[in-house]
Structure 1
Amino acid sequence: MNRNIPPPHIPVRPEWLALCTEEALEPSLPIIDPHHHLWQFPDKSYRSADLLDDLASGHNIRATVFIECETGYRTSGPSEMASLGEVEFVLKEIDAAHQAGSPTRVAAAMVGHADLLLGARVTPVLEGLISTSEGRVKSIRNIGVWHADPTVRASVATPPPHLMMDARFREGLSRLAPLGLGFDAWVIHTQLDELCSLAGTFPETRMVLNHVGGPLGIGPYRGKRDEVFPLWQTAMRELARYPNVHIKLGGFGMSLFGFDFYKQPRPPSSAEVADVIRPYVETCVELFGAQRCMFESNFPVDKGNVAYGVLWNAFKRIAAQASATEKARLFHDTASDFYRIAAI
């Protein structure tokens, strides 16, 4: 990840978000938030206290899953072990949340980073992440987002093209399942065929696709949502054939979707958010089933477009007609199973 390139994240404006507040719908519904970050960078910060402020929006967030974001890396020692520093940073944030009396198990599971291009040499890194995290690291993420058009800035990361097709990467990924680790995939809709190949080659590896596979609404795809949707839908239908693949339902506040709520004079209500994201959520649930889908906040990345409590209300509006069993899967059980989080 090259942090010298400005990230495609929308700045958070607390005073703007405060213009739309809502009471939590179904406040007793148990939730695991399976995708959020904690970070400290020169230009921005999102620490446990900030997360706890968002969690205090009235929803029953039982636990969360921290996702790697290249923060707190070690600055000395072997370069391949630098990401262990991020785990150490998060453990301190967990302790701070506990000291603050949080009822939520913050970072009950973690998704760490290990460079899978190391091939077989990645094993000590994986073992180090598991040990250092006290067993909380349950999955590994190597961001693979890439597009030939430089105007498509869909991620902070700048990986090489066709990362998941690299033989060294695949050798490294083969080391995950024997250690009980899953793989968090983050690619955009034009790359879903490569994830299909990966899932088919490693059926024993549990995989979860972040942010519904990134159907693009920026660069050459801006204003072409009606053209992109069926292409994304067809690719997702093919991906659904692989039973080891799960889907995170979220990320809609990122700039790549092109929804641009932040340009409005007031932040969106949950009803407004639900209206625009419903086709993507319903398509995923139809194709993969609730047992392979989980709602995610993707905070604080999505916070530039929508407030935390409003976002979960939007998800609950979309799932309003689902059965109790389906709701349990979408909001809690699928995440609990995938990340092997003990009963809460």
Structure 2
Amino acid sequence: MKVVDPHIHLWDLKTHHYLWLANPGVSFAGDARDLKHDYLIADLLKDAGDIELLKCVHVEANHDPADPVEETRWLQSVAQAPGSRSMPNAIVAGVDLSAKNAAQILEGHAAFANTRGVRQILNVHRDKLYDYVGRHFIREAAWRENFGLLRRHGMSFDMQLYPSQMDEAAALASEHHDTQFIVNHAGMFVDRDSVAGYRAWRDGMRTLAQCPNIAVKISGLAMFDHRWTVESLRPYVLETIDTFGVERAMFASNFPVDRQFGAYGDLWRAYASIVGAASDAEKDALFVRNAERLYRI
């Protein structure tokens, strides 16, 4: 089985600093203490096993906020190292677009050949268990002004948010129609204990999908479903594909975070089972071609 994985994380704890791994805790996404070890290309390839990993995209791993460009510098060196198979083939770098030096940080990331875009986590939730950032960046004037700089560098924006934020995100995407947006983790349907929660996710995703410059990664589902099965993933996978269309959806692993809840091969085979009745061209798009096109690899 051949895949391009558009959402992986790497870290080297011997040489780099990650606040969340320095003092790991337990959250809805699992026990970060289980992740407090180096995770490098060799580890990813070992986890891949019989899955033929053709290419991968590294998404920022909450590296030291004092020097986000250092993560990109390191990842570029990893991609150029012998035995790396040129992985990661693309880098989605970290930036705080509300920071005074955001323009400088973007220029620093843009200097590296494999940089394709940036991510800044936006998740805000009324329940502190799920709240990541505690502020609505999209509503801040300085953040929005700096967001406009992505176009100058030809950068995409990986967008991690909750359903309650999707209307505002769609408005932002419409304003920046020439910037590619990529929704992370199928929109992070978190409020699963009510019909209203499901409708908020479904309707929010449909609103996002109305913007032709928004695509989606089907990933991270295990963060909310620690005992997942093919059948428990099926409705979210199929609804996401139906909403965005085969041409704007792609599967991803979110490894090693989702490694806490299952093996790499089992996850990809689950995806393959869910879309087993799709055409060969549709499967090729979901597993390989869309990631290559959207991340230009």
TM over 0.5: yes
CA contact (8 A) 2:219 2:254 kept: yes
The structural deviation recorded for 1:106 is 1.5
CA contact (8 A) 1:141 1:185 kept: yes
Give the one of 269, 288, 297 matched to 1:313. 269
1:298 maps to 2:267 = no
CA contact (8 A) 2:8 2:59 kept: yes
Aligned to 2:177: 203
The structural deviation recorded for 1:227 is 4.1
Give the length in aligned residue pairs: 276
Question: Partner letter of residue 49 of structure 1?
Answer: A
Partner SS for 1:337: helix
CA contact (8 A) 1:111 1:138 kept: yes
Partner SS for 1:176: helix
Distance verdict in 2 for CA 1:314–1:105, change over 3 Å: farther
Aligned to 2:7: 35
Aligned to 1:339: 295
The structural deviation recorded for 1:124 is 2.7
Partner SS for 1:159: coil
Aligned to 1:183: 157
Identical pairs, percent: 32
The structural deviation recorded for 1:260 is 2.5
Aligned to 1:65: 57
CA contact (8 A) 2:76 2:114 kept: no
Question: Partner letter of residue 93 of structure 1?
Answer: V
Give the one of 17, 20, 40 matched to 1:47. 40
Partner Cα separation in structure 2 for residue 197 and residue 284 of structure 1: 20
Partner Cα separation in structure 2 for residue 332 and residue 278 of structure 1: 20
Partner Cα separation in structure 1 for residue 38 and residue 139 of structure 2: 34
Matches within 5 A, 1:217-296: 221=191, 224=193, 226-254=195-223, 257=224, 259-261=225-227, 272=229, 274-296=230-252
Give the one of 94, 107, 118 matched to 1:113. 94
RMSD: 1.9
CA contact (8 A) 1:208 1:247 kept: yes
1:84 maps to 2:69 = yes
1:126 maps to 2:106 = yes
Deviations 1:215-273 (A, max 9, x none): 11xxxx46x1544222211111111110000000010121xx2x232xxxxxx6xxx2x
Give the one of 115, 118, 123 matched to 1:145. 123
Larger Rg: 1
Partner SS for 1:315: helix
CA contact (8 A) 1:64 1:105 kept: no
Which range moved further: 230-239 or 135-144? 230-239
**Where do 5+ consecutive residues of structure 2 fail to align?**
14-20, 23-35
Matches within 5 A, 1:85-100: 85-96=70-81, 98-99=82-83
Aligned to 2:283: 327
Q: TM-score, normalised by structure 2?
A: 0.87
Partner Cα separation in structure 2 for residue 140 and residue 281 of structure 1: 25
Deviations 1:292-335 (A, max 9, x none): 10101000111111110000001111111111221111111111
The structural deviation recorded for 1:162 is 1.4
**Where do 5+ consecutive residues of structure 1 fail to align?**
1-26, 262-267
Partner Cα separation in structure 2 for residue 323 and residue 123 of structure 1: 44
CA contact (8 A) 1:70 1:86 kept: no
Question: Partner letter of residue 89 of structure 1?
Answer: W
Aligned to 2:16: none
Question: Partner letter of residue 161 of structure 2?
Answer: V
Partner Cα separation in structure 1 for residue 80 and residue 127 of structure 2: 43
Deviations 1:129-150 (A, max 9, x none): 121x3x2110110100111221
Question: Partner letter of residue 200 of structure 1?
Answer: S
Partner Cα separation in structure 2 for residue 89 and residue 187 of structure 1: 27
CA contact (8 A) 2:45 2:53 kept: no
The structural deviation recorded for 1:160 is 3.8
CA contact (8 A) 1:165 1:198 kept: no
Partner SS for 1:65: strand
CA contact (8 A) 1:145 1:186 kept: yes
Partner Cα separation in structure 1 for residue 246 and residue 41 of structure 2: 30
Partner Cα separation in structure 2 for residue 245 and residue 92 of structure 1: 30
The structural deviation recorded for 1:36 is 0.4
The structural deviation recorded for 1:85 is 0.7
